[in-house]
Amino acid sequence: MYEKNSRSDRGTNMVARRTVLKQITGAAMATLASGAAFAQGPGKYNLKIAISLPDSHPTPVALKAACAEILKQSNGRLAIEVFGNGQLGSDTDTMSQVRSGAIDFICTAGQIYGNLAPATMITGMAFAFPDYATVWKAVDGELGAYMRSALDKANLVSVGKVFDHGFRQTTHSLKPITSPKDIVGMKIRVPATALQTTLFKSLDASPATVPIGELYTALQTKVVDGQENALPTIDAAKLYEVQKYCSYTNHMWDYFALAGNKRNWAALPEDLRALATRVFDAHALKQRAAHDELNTSLEGKLKGAGMLFNKTDPKAFREVLVKAGYYTDWQKKFGADGWALLEKYTGKLG
């Protein structure tokens, strides 16, 4: 198996280079020079996807199904392995590795990409989307194209449609969240993103950044009082074992997107890129349907595990955020063009 080239590889002596040149075709040599890995001889490619979600979550499940189909349809030419549960590192670490080409792909949340390319997290504006119909029009339309162009400028290539990561709900170990006053002073776990941190600071909570792989323990040991995630994530991470109350705040919608190193992606033959994109597209749509089914069925399962549920009024939370200047501040950060595209789908915010 030939590995990705590094700077030290380029220093290999001339004799070794000549030996390699005799073993591979010109096309395979071009691939090697560009950084894409391949296995079992010329013309076969072996890539990696890093994702922090548990393997049981609908997104890793969809990715693995897509990769199996790609392997079959390519007659073994393109093998893509999915490393779930943060096996290859945190989102921040793997993002850096993908940008350098050490890992081929990362699949992570728009909020995480936002640390690198702010426009990619614009769909996460608090209480922006009223329903899924509005969400899919936006991300499969002009707003989605705008976000993909931001990734491109950050030297990442977006591959396939985005996966649904759901409307996020708030859980607490001791009490339900019924109104904004219940969040005041709450130690709540959030991902390492400015958008969610400022959201909960604007609600007078105390947000704390904890990696998803450490969240269960942080809740169990009371490092934080609660957290916010979509129901499928709450289920997959078994948070119902350490959280009593789940409040339907629907405060934010987020997605997971597959993004790759541009050089490694470009090194694949055009037909394999087209095949992979087509298959990932199809499985993203299947994942959206599976995620939707879970959203409608998981309340019953989680209630059976002891969780208590309640609804909230989004208007009350938005009023607090408007007074705190949350929307005004983010409008300035996203800029007039991005904000106009967002409000094209959501209506006036703030």
135 plus 179 within the same structural domain: no
329 plus 186 within the same structural domain: yes
97 plus 174 within the same structural domain: no
174 plus 210 within the same structural domain: yes
Residue 284 has a pLDDT of: 98
265 plus 183 within the same structural domain: no
In a domain, 53, yes or no: yes
The Cα-based distances of 323 to 24, 170, 226, 329, 330 in angstroms read: 65, 22, 25, 11, 14
Domains: count for the chain? 2
Which residues are bridge partners to 229 per DSSP?
169
In a domain, 229, yes or no: yes
In a domain, 193, yes or no: yes
- What does each of the 350 residues of the chain score in pLDDT, given as a tens digit? 333 343 344 444 333 333 333 333 333 333 333 344 544 457 899 999 999 998 989 999 999 999 999 999 999 999 999 999 999 999 989 999 999 999 999 999 998 999 899 999 999 999 999 999 999 999 999 999 999 999 999 999 999 999 999 999 999 999 999 999 999 999 999 988 899 999 999 999 999 999 888 999 999 999 999 999 999 999 989 999 999 999 999 999 999 999 999 999 999 999 999 999 999 999 999 999 999 998 889 999 999 999 999 999 999 999 999 999 999 999 999 999 999 999 999 999 97
pTM of the full predicted structure?
0.82
213 plus 337 within the same structural domain: yes
Residue 146 has a pLDDT of: 97
Residue 28 has a pLDDT of: 33
125 plus 249 within the same structural domain: no
Residue 21 has a pLDDT of: 32
CATH of the domain at 80: 3.40.190.170
In a domain, 4, yes or no: no
Q: Which domain holds residue 158?
A: 9-165+254-296
In a domain, 2, yes or no: no
Beta strands in 86-229 (DSSP E): 105-109, 156-158, 163-167, 169-172, 187-190, 206-209, 226-229
DSSP codes of every residue in 274-340: HHHHHHHHHHHHHHHHHHHHHHHHHHHHHHHTT-EEEE--HHHHHHHHHHHTHHHHHHHHHHHHHHH
**Contacting residues for 238 by C-beta, under 8 A, at least 6 apart:** 216
In a domain, 348, yes or no: no
73 plus 184 within the same structural domain: no
Spatial distance between the Cα atoms of 121 and 117, rounded to a whole number of angstroms? 8
Residue 30 has a pLDDT of: 32
Residue 179 has a pLDDT of: 97
